Every structure is written in C-alpha cells, then in structure tokens.
Structure 1
C-alpha cells in the first residue's frame, strides 16, 4: 500500500509500471518518497514561517498545508515530465528549467527551517538589536525634553546661588556689627555705639531681604522642580508607548536579517542539503539508464502519435474525396434541362411579383 502511494507521488503511469519488474517499481517508489517527504518538509517550514507572521497556530498550519500540497504538486509535475531519451544533452536541456525551479523551491523550503534550527542564536541577535534600538529610542525621545529640563535645572541652580550669595552678604554684615561691638574692628571702640547701631540696622534690613528672597526663590524652585518632574513623566510615557513596537521586533523579515548576521557556513550546509534533496529525483532520472518503464511509455506515446497522425490523414482524405464528389454531382445537375426549366419558371414568377408590387406602391403614392 505504501509502495503504491509512493509510486503515485512519483507521477508514473501505474498501469505501465505494473507490467515492469519489481526493481523498476522500487526505483519510482524511491523517487515518489523523495517527492513526498520534500512536501512534508515544505509544510513544516512554511507553517513555522507563517506562525512567526500570524502568531496563530491554526492559521499557520492551514496555510502551511496548502503550501505543502503546492510544492508536492510542483515536484510531482517536474519529475513526471522528464522523459528519457537517447541523447543526454537533449535530456539535460529538457531538465534545466525544472532544475532551476527545483532550486528555487529548495531555497524557499530551507530558509524557514534555518530560522527554526538557529532560533536561539537569532533570538540573541534580536535581543542585542532590541537593546540598541531601546537605547537609541530613549536618546531620541530625550532630545525633545533634555533642553527644557537643562534650562529648568540651570534656573534652579541660579535661584539657589542667589540665596547663597545673599546669605554670604548677610553673614558678612553680621560679622561686621559684632566685631564693631567687640571693638576688634571698625572704630575699635568696645560697646554698642552709633556705628554699631547703623551696621546692625543694615544687617537686619538685609536679613529681611534674604528671608523674602528665600521665600520667593523657594516658590520658583518648587515650580521648576514640578515642571522637571512633569517633563520626566512625559518622557517616560513616550518611552513606554514606543517600547512595545521595539519588543515586537521579531517578525519574519527581522529574523531573516538576524540570520544573515550569523556565520554563513552552517546556513550554506543546510541550503545545500535541501538543494540535494529537491533535485535528487531529477538528477536520478537523468543519470539512470533507460528502463523498461521508459521504453514502454515511449512505445505507448509513439503508438498514440501514429494513431493520431492516421486519423488526421484519413479526415483530410475524406474531406478531399467529399469535395470531388460534390463537384461532380453539381456539375451533372447543372446540365439537366428539367432543372433549368424549373428555375426559369420560378424566376419569371418572381419578376412578375416584383413588377406588381412596384406598380401598387407607386399607384398609392400618386393617389
């Protein structure tokens, strides 16, 4: 049963092959098995490739099955249409377009399987690319907010610097009136005299100004810090919105590009393997000698071609003979006096009817 199925897969004529030796049947069963398992590999490869696209197992399997059947039909057609001839060069010319098609099919089948075989390595490459994209995305978004944040930060630093400078001025005034009271500076007189009162008054005025400055700048600093926090939140929100796009960067094209970044040699080995599998039935038929099946198939095709040629020739002879007979029949009839008198009578009646109709019509017109 399995052998019959593989013979069907080879595209061979089972009626002719049944009359051949078991060895001939085994050869075509092997060719059919190669065609079948190539289609199975095409189904697996396309299902995986489509799963990376749709993220749905049922859809991937359904379309993968359709693709596998398509490859099966193409391979079966390619193998079954190669006819063995007595000239190897003629056979090679005949098989060249089919070999090219087989190479294209092998490449299409091999690529998704390469993606599955090197999945871990591809995931590592994709992870590196995602990390680079994440950093680049953060830097790009930051360029929209960094100038504003830096301006606000500089403003806060300036406001704080104003307070520090003012505090230094107040401290200096404090030191001035204290040393004046102690008599260690200024007038050099111990005690709180008029100069001391003047310096103390100036310090107290500046201290009040410092207090007002602290309150004013504190409000400004608080507003600037709130603005910075708002900008940071907006920056993070932009990053969070764009991150899913980066996390989803693992589609079919991304994986193919990641595969191309891996060492070429292992990928080539897999490609050559599928090229060998896909082209093996064609190469086997080219290299094998003309067997009993090929001879019987050629005989049957020649017999059919001869029969068709005979039928065409017979139809041409019948047509030619029928034309000659018709010519003779009508020539004999043309010489008969009875037919001439009959047609003369009918022509006379027709002309009389035409004359009567012409007369009646004009009489109506003239009133």
Structure 2
C-alpha cells in the first residue's frame, strides 16, 4: 500500500512501471517519497508562518494544508515531466526551468522553518527592538507634551516668584517701621511718631496686597498644578495606548527582518538543506541512467509518434487523391457540348432580362 502510494506521488505511468523490475520500481518509490515528504515540510512551514499571521491554529492548518497540496502538485509535475534523453546536456536544459522553480519553492519553504528554529535568537532581537521603540515612543510623546508641561511649570514658578517677591517686600516694610519705632533706623527717634505711622500704613497696605496676591496666585497655582497633573496623565495615557502596538510588533515580517539581522551562515545552510531536499528528485532523475521504464516510455512515445505520422500521411494522400479525381471529373464536364449549349442558353436569357430591366429604368427617369 505504501509502495503504491509513493509511486502515485512520483507521477510515473503506473501501467508501464508495473511490468518493470523491482529495482526500477524502488527508484520511483524513492522519488515519490521525496515528493511527499517535501510536501509535509511545506505544510509545517506554511502552517507555522500563517499561525504567526492569524494567531489561530485552525486557519493556519487549513491554509497550510492547501499550500502543501500546491507544493506536492508542483513537485509531482516537475518530476513527471522530466524525461531521459540520449545526451545529458539535453536533459539538463530540459530540467533548468524546473530546477529554478524548485529553488524558489525551497526558499519559500525554508524561511518559516528558519524562523521557528532560531525563535529564541529572534525573540532576543525583537525584545531589543521593542525596548528601543518604547524609548523612542516615550521620547516622541514627551516631546509632543513638553511644550505645554514646560509652559505650565514656568507659569507656576512665576506665580510663586511673585508671592515670594511680595512677601519679601512686606517683610522689608515691616523691618523699616519696626526699626523706626525702636529708633535704630530712619529718623532714629524712639516712639511711634508720624514717620512711624506713615511707614506702618505703607506696610499694612503692602500686607493687604500680599494677602490678596497670595490668595489669587495660590488659586492659580492650584489650577495650574491640576492642569499639569492632567497633562502628565494624558502623556501616560498616550504611552499606554501605544504600548500594545509595540508589544504586538511580533508578526511574520518583523520576524523575517529579525532573522536577517542574525548571522547569515546558519540560515544559509538550512536553506541549502531544503534546496537539496527539493531538488533531489530532479537531480536523481538527471543522474540516473536510462532504466527499463525509460525505454518502455520511449518505445510507447515512438510508437505513438509513428502512428500519428502514418495517419497524417494517409490523410494527406487521401486529400491529394481526391483533388486529382475532382480535377479530372471537372475537366471531362468542361468538354461536354450539351452542357456548354445549356450554359450558353442560360447566359443569353440572363443578358436579355438585364437589358429589359435597364430600358425600363431609363424610361422611368424621363
């Protein structure tokens, strides 16, 4: 059962192969097995690749199965259409387009499996890139909010500076009128005279202004600080909103790019391995000498070509003979006097009718 299945996979003519030797059948069993297992590898590779895209196992399995059938059909077609020739160069030229197609298939199959094989290394590269993206994202968002935050902080600092400045002014006025009362400065007269009262009134007025300014500025500062907290909250919210996008930077293209950043030699050898697997049926058919099946196939093709050539020759001969017979028949008819007189009579009647019609048309125009 397994032998027949692999023979079916090889795309060989089973009616011709069943009469061949066991060794000849084994050769095509090996070719069919290679085609089958290449399709299995294609299924695994495409299923994993599509799983990274859809993040769901069922679509990945379905599309992977369809892709493996496509690869299986292509490989089976490639192997079955290569026929042995008398010269190796003719065989190689015949197989060149198929080898090119096999190389493309090998590259397509190997890439997803390379991603799986080097998954840990790729995750390390992606983690580094994600960290860099997070820092760049925070910096970009911080730059976007920086102007408003700096402006808000500057306004708060200015309001606080106004309070400090006014407070210092009040304290200075307080010292002035106290020293005036003590007689240690100003008029240097002990007691609360007119100058003292003037300075005291000036201090009291400044104190009221300070209290009003402090109350107003503190309200403004509270409002500004609230706005600053809101700006910081907006910044943090923006960062948190963009974080899932960065965390989701784990798709197929990202992994392929990460794979390309790893040393190329291991990946190259894996690709060569799949290239060898994919081209092995073709190489096997090219290197193998003509076998019993090849001779039988060539004999069947030669017999078919001979039959077709013979049929074509007979058809051409039939057409040629028929044409010669018709030429002779019409030549004899042309020499028949009775037919000539009949044709002459009919032509004369036709000319007379045409003449009458012409005369009637001319009369109608008068």
User: What TM-score comes out, normalization by structure 2 length?
Assistant: 0.91
Paired with 2:136 and 2:100, the residues of 1 have a C-alpha distance of: 44
Deviation at 1:192, TM superposition (A): 4.5
What does residue 282 of structure 1 align with? 282
Equivalent residue, structure 1, for 2:67: 67
Please state how far the C-alpha of 1:97 moved relative to its aligned partner: 1.6
Once the two structures are superposed, residues 131-162 of structure 1 have per-residue CA deviations (whole angstroms, 9 ceiling, x without a partner) of: 22222122212222211211221121121122
What are the equivalent positions in structure 2 for 1:284-299 lying under 5 Å apart?
Answer: 284-299=284-299
Other-structure match for 2:115: 115
Deviates more, 1:31-40 or 1:161-170: 161-170
Pairwise CA distance, 1:190: 5.3
Structure 1 pair 120/189, CA: closer, same or farther in 2 (3 Å)?
Answer: same
TM-score using structure 1 length: 0.90
Alignment partner, residue 253 of structure 2? 253
Q: Distance in 2 between matches of 1:169 and 1:121?
A: 67
Which aligned pairs between 1:296-335 and structure 2 lie closer than 5 A? 296-335=296-335
Report the 3-state secondary structure (helix = DSSP H, G, I; strand = E; otherwise coil) of the residue aligned with 1:317. helix
- 1:138 corresponds in structure 2 to 138
Unaligned runs of 5+ in 1: none
The equivalent of 2:38 in structure 1 is 38
Count matched residues: 366
**Cα shift at 1:363:** 9.0
Match of 2:90 in 1: 90
The superposition leaves residues 321-353 of structure 1 with CA deviations (integer Å, 9 ceiling, x where unpaired) of 211121112112222223223333433444455
CA distance in 1 between partners of 2:356 and 2:167 (Å): 139
Partner of 1:172: 172
Aligned to 1:9: 9
**Residues 266-311 of structure 1, C-alpha deviations (whole Å, 9 max, x = no match):** 2122111100100111111111111111111111111111221112
Residue 202 of structure 2 is matched in structure 1 by 202
- More deviation, 273-282/214-223: 214-223
Once the two structures are TM-superposed, the CA of residue 357 in structure 1 deviates from its matched residue by 5.0
What SS class does the counterpart of residue 289 from structure 1 fall into? Answer: coil
Write the distance in 2 (CA, Å) between the matches of 1:40 and 1:135.
43
Q: State the match for 1:28 in structure 2.
A: 28
Deviation at 1:179, TM superposition (A): 4.4
Deviations 1:149-190 (A, max 9, x none): 112211211211222222223233333444454555555665
Q: Which stretch shifts more, 23-32 or 331-340? A: 331-340
Write out per-residue CA displacement over residues 47-99 of structure 1, whole angstroms, 9 at most, x where no aligned residue: 22223223343333333222221111111111111111221222222222211
- 1:142-157 alignment, distance < 5 Å: 142-157=142-157
Deviation digits for residues 251-277 of structure 1, max 9, x if unmatched?
A: 221111111112222212211110010
C-alpha RMSD over aligned residues: 2.4
